[in-house]
Structures are given as structure tokens and as C-alpha cells.
Amino acid sequence: MSSVDIEDLPGVGPATADRLREAGYLTVESIATASPADLSEATEIGETTAKKIIRAAGALADIGGFKTGTDILLRRKDVLKLKTLVPEFDEMLEGGLETQAITEVYGEFGSGKSQIVHQMAVNCQLPPELGGLGGSCLYIDTENTFRPERIEQMVNGLEFKKLPEGYEIPPVETFLANIHVARAHSSDHQMLLIDAARELATQMELEGKPVKLVIIDSLTGLFRAEYAGRGTLAGRQQKLNRHMHDLFKLIDNLNAVGIVTNQVMASPGVLFGDPTRPIGGNIVGHTATFRIYLRKSKGGKRIARLVDSPNLPEGEAAFSVEMDGLKEA
């Protein structure tokens, strides 16, 4: 979140601030990038006043342009880390998945992508002392693979040597209540769900359960299916890029973690070259900040490989998927 409150904007009193928040404008940044017409409609203030507020927000907000390294460092100080709670995995991530970033988890069918996002939907609700972010989760499910039963098993599987004083692991129902799942039926629908997510996130913030994790599992499935066999992939690529950009804006505003999954084909025919390159087109490309490649290994073990990170060395971590959730291999 911005360090400047929307009340700090000239012309924004408490009543207008409330209306802005209800309409989804939680930060100075979101106001700075709004259109006067939208803002005016949302808050029942005149367009002229709306324009003034937007201009003031623009002056205060961070909406692009050049920044100094010092400014960026300051913003990086807000970055929080969400743990997988598998020590080796968290070590590879130097503490966990970062907020203000989208992590792409890719791998073959059955490699554990959906298991990871289920586990993170649980972990993000834990307090920071236990590796969580004390928040709630939004889950866009495009393949009908979200399973509340899995959440239940994973909550029951949580084990801590020591709980912070006064903290009790909440009941399974609480964990389930803080995961908001939406089924996406088409790629267009999937894209619209980001708008719905923004509104829901505003509501959750007001209820004191800030959204700290947004999941899209799978990011690419519907796009792939709908564009299969078409002559040009440029349209698909453009839509996906916009979708990723919308997701990034959302999680950046919320200081939340974004995780998307991407299924890639096995390529037994490839003997040379990089086997971690998604076959069938790298359609997520460079929009994700972190990329984790999953593969199955001997004895049910799974290997997560960190690929192309802006600030972490490449590395690998082994883990296993058990009834209780993700565990040390």
C-alpha cells in the first residue's frame, strides 16, 4: 500500500474517502490512474472536482516515470515473504514467495502445481511469525481442480514446533471461509474476474481480512484451448499479456503475492537444449517476476527449480506431496 492515505488528497474528506474505498479506490495510485468519469460516477462528485483529485493523486502517487534507486529500495522494503514451509524450498526462495511479484509455477500435468497453490492458500492465512501473511486468498480456478477437502487435509497437516504466544491454529472452517474461489468459464470471463477480484479485495480490506494472495490455476489452460489450431497466436499473446498486467496491478496495489500456473508439455524427443523451457511456446514470457519449474523425480519426489529470478540465484529444491500437504522430500 501507498504510504499516502487517500484522505491526504485535497478535496477528499472522510465521506468522499469512504465512497472511494467502497468503489474500490483504496490507494492514491488507483485514483491517479482512474478516469474522471469513473471517479465522478463512483463518488457522486462533479467531474471537475474528480479531475482535481486525480491530478493531486498523480503528483503524490507512483504511476510510472523515472524513480531513483532510493525510492525503489523504499518500496522494496514493503515486500513480504510467504513461506511454503518446506525448509529447502524456502531457502531457495530466500524466505518465500515475494509480494508485489507474480510467480509462475510451470510443469507437466501432475507435477504438483495445484498442490502448491492449495498449500499457499492455507499458508497465507498464518501469521507472519509462522511464515504466512495473515491475510485471505482469492483463487481463480479455470480447470475445476480446487478441492476444499485438500485444504482441510493441509490445515490438519500443519505442524509447528512452537506457536506464537496466544495463537491457536484456527479451525478448518476459518481457512475455507478466507479462500474465495471463482470458476472461470472462458478466457474472457477469466480476465473479467480480475475486476471482480479488485472489488472483493476492497471489501475484504474493510472487513480486516486483507487479500494477501491471488492465485490463477491455470493461467493458460483456457487460452490454450480457445486458441488451439488458430493461425495466429498474436491475439492470444496480447490478451494474456494484458491479463498478467491487470493481475500485477492488483497484487502490487494490495502488496500481495501473485501465483499463476502454466502447464507445459513433456518433450521426450528433446535430447539437447534446455528441458526447462516450456514446450509449445513460452506464452507467459517475461511478465512473471519469478518462474519455478516443477518436475517429478524418483520415489515420488518432486524438484522445484527457480528459473530467471531478478534477484535470486538459480537453484533447486526437492519436496514431496503428501496427504498432509507439501513436505520435505
Ligand X SMILES: Nc1ncnc2c1ncn2[C@@H]1O[C@H](COP(=O)(O)OP(=O)(O)O)[C@@H](O)[C@H]1O
User: Which window, 1-9, 106-114, 126-134, 159-167, contacts Mg ion (CB under 5 A)?
Assistant: 106-114
Nearer to Mg ion by Cβ, of 114 and 287: the residue is 114
Q: Are strands 101-107 and 290-296 parallel, antiparallel or unpaired?
A: parallel
Q: Is the dihedral of CA 8, 9, 11, 12 positive or negative?
A: negative
Q: Is the dihedral of CA 311, 279, 217, 197 positive or negative?
A: positive
d(CA 54, CA 47): 10
**CB within 8 A of 183, min separation 6: which ones?**
141, 142, 144
Exactly one of 103, 115, 125, 287 binds ligand X (CB under 6 A); which one? 115
Nearer to ligand X by Cβ, of 142 and 178: the residue is 142
x/- map, 243-282, ligand X, by CB under 6 A:
----------------------------------------
Nearer to ligand X by Cβ, of 115 and 309: the residue is 115
Nearer to Mg ion by Cβ, of 25 and 223: the residue is 223
User: Which window, 24-32, 114-122, 177-185, 208-216, contacts Mg ion (CB under 5 A)?
Assistant: 114-122
152 binds ligand X (CB under 6 A): no
x/- map, 134-163, Mg ion, by CB under 5 A:
-----------x------------------
Nearer to Mg ion by Cβ, of 111 and 187: the residue is 111
x/- map, 61-100, ligand X, by CB under 6 A:
----------------------------------------
d(CA 253, CA 100): 8
Long-range contacts of 45-54 (CB under 8 A, 24+ apart): 45/11, 45/16, 49/11, 52/10, 52/11, 53/9, 53/10, 53/11, 53/12
114 binds Mg ion (CB under 5 A): yes
Q: Cβ distance 275 to 215 under 8 Å? A: no
SS3 198: helix
Residues that bind ligand X (CB under 6 A): 107, 109-115, 153, 321-323
